[in-house]
Structure 1
């Protein structure tokens, strides 16, 4: 969504209308006080790839016009075959929206404002052979024109109808290319393409002393409020599918408030609130992704954050393309927090127990998609601060919301984020690598149990697995942990390496392939798709990644009874 004083024209396809519905909420959230002029344009050609579109099957543009009116838009039908109609339509839509803004400011209108929405009616493949048929999607000619007379004739006849002399094209360009006079930037210079957003101030977090218990989500909530207050010039968008209070974001909600058209007395709601709430994960993440001129945060249940992947992945790819072209994105990085996660959601059965959000995003390029598993409150706020110090990245943060003791002090938490992993104590014959908060606690319990049996153990907290993968290109290589520190943390002469992870162990082993010592010297524990209405302890046991189960497997692997063996 553009900032005040900016303009945005967004072209949509009628095929995309069927799947990506986040924009349906725009009319409910648009406010002249913090939004610029926006004009959606639907190219209504009536077809998907291999059949007619739902809009056409439901009744065509007449049905779509009624649909838009019911959803708070003001439809404007134009001839999608006429370039001049697009120019007129854009000016008409912006003029209407500007007039509505002025009426609201004068007190003559109330929100919601009906957002103008252009419907450009046309046929797919207009003017060429096969127009309006499935063939128009790709290769409408029956054969290669070079070798087929019939195809060559169809091609030449179509080209003749579509041909415009070059002098006319230049003339039209000169008439329309009046950007300076119209105060309209060229597309390559549009503010959305040239964002350069930095925080004026990054407040020092409230670091908890080690062993003091607090919910990491409470710590994130406190720090986010401090960041918002320290940077008042930035437009804030807090994406919230549901249950922001349950997810411990109370201070943020009380400060920013749900954006709603009819605020309910006594609740944290406001006509101009910054919390974008809808039980539609794609819609709320899109509200954040569209706020590249401001500061954003998205909070979701881990299991349902998966619904955001499609929108996030498109943004990740585009940001990576910008980086590869030497024009890196300079909007503030966006943290997407997955909480109420797998190991905390026993009461809701397996529908709410899914670590795939982080697993999928670890498949993206790690220099742009940062996937982290902070184990305590201090590391969680250290991740949040570092995210907002960077630009053009997406941070997928899987964060527990239950009270947990602080494992790291402030200095160690910052080091953990900087390096991607940190060792707790000395190395041993058995190395335990923890990814996740509850997994770190399990590893500490395992280390203590093995020490009592005479086996020396070292524990490593692995925050960001993508820093220790085999890099797939030079940009990702530049994001990797330094080789000397990696070798120090993960020596190759370790006799047994044991991963205990938040996600499915196979996914982690694939990402951290360089750390895998082979089946004889590596074990991995994590989510095995077992669950149900169990508490955290029960879920760990059901997936055989509780401390007792892991100790037994290690003892069996080492051939040790644990009675008096100090080494393997």
Structure 2
């Protein structure tokens, strides 16, 4: 063990730093007594008050200050909540508030163990933020009673650190995303520190394990800092945690290997832990400031080893030590509600009263129930309070993106299908200039798992690089310390970064292979729920939308095979609340430009754009594309010959389905010229729903006018067919609807063979029309047979040559 001495520049007290040698790394312990008697007293009082308020929220619905003996009717009939992690979270909040008050530090608090919700609510109530946001819950006895009763109670608030909790950007109901959210909030926020508490149970999740690497992407010259705090209290619901049982040497080696400088704060004596935590935080915040000063003033470019804390305290600290003859504090039994029968068991009720009185509430609150000055007079004020920090409510200085006119980037389309373009490559040129236009504001980033160039967005790398704080070798391309594109081969981390970035007021785009966006399904659930709740909270500011660009999609994954073929992310998103989600399937480059501009301007949505990156026909000139996107769906008159009274409607949603529908239409014109065909294209999937189901839903009269009520509709859809049936089942003519799409048939094959395997090719669509138009089957029997013969020839040709039929490869739309 080696020792070093330093002078705390703020407290002017000498502290001793121990560096404990460990195999594979070092763990530092900062000893000393930076807290004077008065400061120690008010910090401990604040912590006790937060603990008291936390216990009260879990248990009580009346008698909040224990001004009379506790009775069964004062206890909630259903006890819900989590105590085990809460006292540790409360101590950290108390001490971080001290740091803010002393240094004027801009800071927000992310809690991975979000089930410590009572602690966060308690702290924002103590600092006054809660009563400002919810004036009916004042800082007095009546307000405290409402505060207690509402927690995990019908008509009240959730038990997690939910959107209803001021100062939160992270619910933590699902574990694994705290670190990535914290780093997302810190990117491009140079003065912000994000204190991020990671639960030791949460640390066992895959997303969390990958997100430790976020420190390799944090640029100390332009970004803020993240202070990870591993809350090591030893247990999950019923089992020990892995990191609590591997020993200091291995744990230190793990954190050091991730690139952090670990500091250890541990103990069960409150006074000693207060001193140790204060000394450690003083040291760490000096260190963060020095890292940033060297990068910003001296131009130091080497990747720093950022500090982090291992905070080891007993689970359920200060709670009941023994209940019903078995140990509780420091064990898994403290995880949720230690005295689970307090309403009906006299012994539990007495133990609860003894527990709550151990915090000495008579010293903490005055006669009116307001917090005593010893709890509040030293706290940060105004928007430096973590509960009131604007970064946790849409950003300190939110601004809309400056977007160049996307019309200037459009593809020239003299006639439908007369121009070939790669839609995402065209989009990349516009995104390049979006990046440039917003560079001085540093409020736009593109994230994705190693796929920016693969997805044809490489033009953005003409004006920025991919951020990289690790070693850069001469052979590397487009890597720099200050890039605006972020790539890591972890969809979870990309999603978490972007969510944190958006929730703090900035903008972004997530580009991903379609099949692997499923990896973040559960994260989408959580974000959609967050947005749905915030829409009902008047004090929550709107935040920029979460925008997905799904490309390298199912119909062009013939080369990678079955594992890369899955369009089901759209189905997953469509299960979310209608006011939150939007899904767009632009058929060509110009519609993609229009849709993406719309999505980047929007707020409080999850926008999913599915678009191809391979060369394909451009159908609409820019004016027509804009109008089509505004409509959301419409009749393509230039492709139709129905004269207002169709025999059949051929509809498409998606770029490849559009090609097949138009190819089928051209075949029908050639072989059955008297057949009246109406072609409909859908770009906004929500238009198919009833207006009762979605605000974008097409009114029934308009839907019936376009699709008819009694004519067969053959619909070629990009994804799983059942979704179209689900969206349209309330429509009058639903029984006439026949949908073709992906039906889980795929392999490594040719592009067109993928369509044939799923019966969504032009020849199957022609046969569908023949089979469904009344009276057509007999007079078009030979045509149908020819379609079967072509498919047989296709099968033989692809298996012999490895290529699609020449008439498919060379097909072009020819106007009638």
- TM-score (ref. length: structure 1): 0.89
Counterpart pick for 1:39 among 202, 213, 227: 227
Counterpart pick for 2:393 among 193, 197, 202: 193
Taking the aligned partners of 1:558 and 1:108, their CA distance within structure 2 comes to 73
Taking the aligned partners of 2:696 and 2:737, their CA distance within structure 1 comes to 25
Post-superposition shift, 1:505? 0.7
Q: Give the structure 1 partner of residue 306 of structure 2.
A: 115
Q: Give the structure 2 partner of residue 5 of structure 1.
A: 191
Taking the aligned partners of 1:313 and 1:91, their CA distance within structure 2 comes to 38
Taking the aligned partners of 1:437 and 1:136, their CA distance within structure 2 comes to 55
Tell me how many residue pairs correspond in the alignment.
556
The answer to whether the 8 Å contact 1:234/1:295 transfers is: no
- 1:256-335 equivalences under 5 Å are 256-260=464-468, 261-265=470-474, 267-292=477-502, 293-327=505-539, 329-335=541-547
Distance 1:50 1:554, change over 3 A: farther
Taking the aligned partners of 1:481 and 1:198, their CA distance within structure 2 comes to 29
2:345 pairs with 1:158: no
Q: Give the structure 2 partner of residue 501 of structure 1.
A: 717
Q: Give the structure 1 partner of residue 260 of structure 2.
A: 73
Taking the aligned partners of 2:404 and 2:279, their CA distance within structure 1 comes to 45
Distance 1:325 1:106, change over 3 A: closer
2:647 pairs with 1:432: no
The answer to whether the 8 Å contact 2:465/2:480 transfers is: yes
More divergent stretch after superposition (369-378 vs 102-111)? 102-111
Q: Give the structure 1 partner of residue 6 of structure 2.
A: none
Q: Give the structure 2 partner of residue 447 of structure 1.
A: 665
Unaligned runs of at least 5 residues, structure 2: 1-184, 321-327, 366-370, 782-816
Taking the aligned partners of 2:780 and 2:769, their CA distance within structure 1 comes to 15
Taking the aligned partners of 1:289 and 1:5, their CA distance within structure 2 comes to 19
2:561 pairs with 1:561: no
- 1:481-492 equivalences under 5 Å are 481=698, 485-491=702-708
Q: Give the structure 2 partner of residue 409 of structure 1.
A: 621
Distance 1:80 1:389, change over 3 A: farther
Distance 1:138 1:467, change over 3 A: farther
Distance 1:13 1:471, change over 3 A: farther
- 1:99-110 equivalences under 5 Å are 99-107=290-298, 109-110=300-301
- 1:224-235 equivalences under 5 Å are 224-235=431-442
Q: Give the structure 2 partner of residue 360 of structure 1.
A: 572
Post-superposition shift, 1:34? 1.8
Secondary structure, aligned partner of 1:187: coil
Secondary structure, aligned partner of 1:291: helix
Unaligned runs of at least 5 residues, structure 1: none
2:305 pairs with 1:98: no
- What RMSD in Å do the two structures reach over aligned CA positions? 2.8
Q: Give the structure 2 partner of residue 173 of structure 1.
A: 375
Distance 1:278 1:156, change over 3 A: same
Q: Which whole-Å deviations, capped at 9, do the CAs of 1:343-394 have from their partners, x for residues lacking one?
A: 1011111110011222211212243222211111011111111112212323
More divergent stretch after superposition (374-383 vs 427-436)? 427-436
The answer to whether the 8 Å contact 2:690/2:699 transfers is: no
Distance 1:490 1:125, change over 3 A: farther
Taking the aligned partners of 2:701 and 2:623, their CA distance within structure 1 comes to 21
Taking the aligned partners of 1:336 and 1:234, their CA distance within structure 2 comes to 22
Post-superposition shift, 1:88? 6.1
Post-superposition shift, 1:30? 1.1
Taking the aligned partners of 1:67 and 1:165, their CA distance within structure 2 comes to 45
Taking the aligned partners of 1:562 and 1:221, their CA distance within structure 2 comes to 50
Post-superposition shift, 1:10? 2.5
Taking the aligned partners of 2:772 and 2:528, their CA distance within structure 1 comes to 41
The answer to whether the 8 Å contact 1:247/1:401 transfers is: yes
Taking the aligned partners of 1:538 and 1:170, their CA distance within structure 2 comes to 75
- TM-score (ref. length: structure 2): 0.63
More divergent stretch after superposition (166-175 vs 387-396)? 166-175
More divergent stretch after superposition (116-125 vs 82-91)? 82-91
Post-superposition shift, 1:514? 3.2
- 1:348-427 equivalences under 5 Å are 348-425=560-637
- 1:472-487 equivalences under 5 Å are 477-481=694-698, 485-487=702-704
The answer to whether the 8 Å contact 1:262/1:271 transfers is: no
Counterpart pick for 2:681 among 451, 461, 468: 461
Q: Give the structure 1 partner of residue 420 of structure 2.
A: 213
Counterpart pick for 1:125 among 295, 311, 316: 316
Post-superposition shift, 1:515? 4.0
The answer to whether the 8 Å contact 2:467/2:481 transfers is: yes
